[in-house]
Amino acid sequence: YLTLGSEGCQPRVSVDPDVVRFNAQLHECSSRVQMTKDALVYSTFLLHDPRPVSGLSILRTNRVEVPIECRYPRQGNVSSHPIQPTWVPFRATVSSEEKLAFSLRLMEENWNTEKSAPTFHLGEVAHLQAEVQTGSHLPLQLFVDHCVATPSPLPDPNSSPYHFIVDFHGCLVDGLSESFSAFQVPRPRPETLQFTVDVFHFANSSRNTLYITCHLKVAPANQIPDKLNKACSFNKTSQSWLPVEGDADICDCCSHGNCSNSSSSQFQIHGPRQWSKLVSRNRRHVTDEADVTVGPLIFLGKANDQTVEGWTASAQTSVALGLGLATVAFLTL
């Protein structure tokens, strides 16, 4: 004998003797509602109350209560599709306050876990993962606009020399000299972009540390990649630029650096001293992009070295401080 909830709601008549069906509203049959951080939870129970059959006074089963829960997410995008939102620019159509969390992390070679220590030997490859947490927003796609490597964190007026890894709105220019420097294809998710860099250090520099600062941005996931929103790697075999997604011609400008008058090109002219000024001027009204830094990367020497030369007390201190490998930038839309 089966009933639903403490009110004893009866099942519907079923033509299948092996199936019992109940038809009840969420608030019926003594259902209780609870609200958690992420969900609305309606709970009740299915009661099996055995009765003697065929005039017998014995029972062969016990009374059983089976808990039942219906969970509904508290956050989501609901639309009847009568109106299509305009995405030009898409941030102008945001109807509620939400945060975008940009991050840049060092990953292990299998991409499954974050790298436990920021130490490298020359000749090894660094695996970097850029990501954005989009919350309840409509789907977004992440791009790495440009990345620069410096011996000290930016903005530092004394951070010289410097080396561009990604430039010209998504061209991984470091791949022109090292074949291991490339974006991963395909990307694991629209909001994630992975790339590898053959590690290096600056000649004639007393530091054995490296910081990588990247300018990350997002675009609507259904927007077709173009010269301003792309991820392109250089293929040494074919001597050509290839995109992670989109038509190959969006990467043609990588060969000449004429993708647009970007802030990265200005950086290349003026150097790290102008980084903070350029960022504040170019992003005065922009909330869909951020600058994030990973580091310090600490170099121990060549991969086949049995002894490590050049270790200083300051570098050893950096190892202890290197537990914070990634910077996360929160931006409010």
DSSP string for 221-256: TTSPP-SSS--EEEETTTTEEEESSS-GGGGGGGGT
Q: Are residues 59 and 101 in the same domain?
A: no
HSE (side-chain half, CA atoms, 13 Å) at 74? 10
Query: Does residue 210 belong to any structural domain of this protein?
Result: yes
Contacts of 87 (CB under 8 A, 6+ apart): 93, 220, 223
Q: Give the rounded distance of the alpha carbon of 329 from its chain centre.
A: 12
Check if the beta carbon of residue 164 is closer than 8 Å to that of residue 171: no
Query: Does residue 83 belong to any structural domain of this protein?
Result: no
Q: Are residues 146 and 252 in the same domain?
A: yes
Per residue in 85-119, pLDDT (tens digit) is 554 444 433 333 457 889 999 999 999 999 989 99
Res 320: pLDDT: 35
Q: Are residues 180 and 320 in the same domain?
A: yes
Band of residue 218 on the pLDDT scale cut at 50, 70, 90: very high
Q: Are residues 223 and 160 in the same domain?
A: yes
Res 263: pLDDT: 46
Q: Are residues 197 and 65 in the same domain?
A: no
Query: Does residue 88 belong to any structural domain of this protein?
Result: no
Q: Are residues 149 and 265 in the same domain?
A: yes
Q: Are residues 259 and 123 in the same domain?
A: yes
State the Cα–Cα distance between residues 226 and 230, nearest whole angstrom. Answer: 6
SS3 state at 207:
coil
Query: Does residue 89 belong to any structural domain of this protein?
Result: no
Mean pLDDT, residues 54-73 taken together: 77
Cβ neighbours of 244 (radius 10 Å): 22
Res 272: pLDDT: 54
Q: Are residues 190 and 131 in the same domain?
A: yes
Q: Is the pLDDT of residue 268 over 90?
A: no
**Phi first, then psi: what are they for 255, rounded to 5°?**
-70, -25
The domain of 25 spans 2-73
User: CA–CA distance from 182 to each of 7, 162, 238, 239, 241 (Å)?
Assistant: 64, 19, 14, 14, 10
Q: Are residues 36 and 69 in the same domain?
A: yes
The tally of domains found in the chain comes to 2
Choose the final residue of a domain: 43, 73, 103. 73
Res 314: pLDDT: 40
Query: Does residue 129 belong to any structural domain of this protein?
Result: yes
- What's 313's DSSP letter? H
Q: Report which of 213, 231, 233, 196 is spatially closest to residue 115, judged by C-alpha positions.
A: 196
Q: Are residues 143 and 209 in the same domain?
A: yes
- Domain of 254, CATH number, reads 2.60.40.4100
State the Cα–Cα distance between residues 268 and 75, nearest whole angstrom. Answer: 43
User: CA–CA distance from 151 to each of 178, 202, 210 (Å)?
Assistant: 20, 8, 5
Q: Are residues 195 and 144 in the same domain?
A: yes
Check if the beta carbon of residue 239 is closer than 8 Å to that of residue 122: no
Query: Does residue 232 belong to any structural domain of this protein?
Result: yes
Band of residue 80 on the pLDDT scale cut at 50, 70, 90: low
Query: Does residue 306 belong to any structural domain of this protein?
Result: no
Per residue in 180-205, pLDDT (tens digit) is 899 999 999 999 999 999 998 888 77
Choose the final residue of a domain: 17, 39, 73. 73
Band of residue 329 on the pLDDT scale cut at 50, 70, 90: low
Pairing verdict, β 119-122 and 289-302:
parallel
Mean pLDDT, residues 4-22 taken together: 78
Q: pTM above 0.95?
A: no
Q: Are residues 249 and 110 in the same domain?
A: yes
Most confident region among 61-75, 202-216, 295-309 by mean pLDDT = 202-216
Flag the least confident range among 184-188, 224-228, 258-262, 307-311. 307-311
Query: Does residue 324 belong to any structural domain of this protein?
Result: yes
Q: Report which of 222, 226, 209, 49 is spatially closest to residue 120, judged by C-alpha positions.
A: 209
Q: Which two tokens stand for residue 57?
A: 């006074």
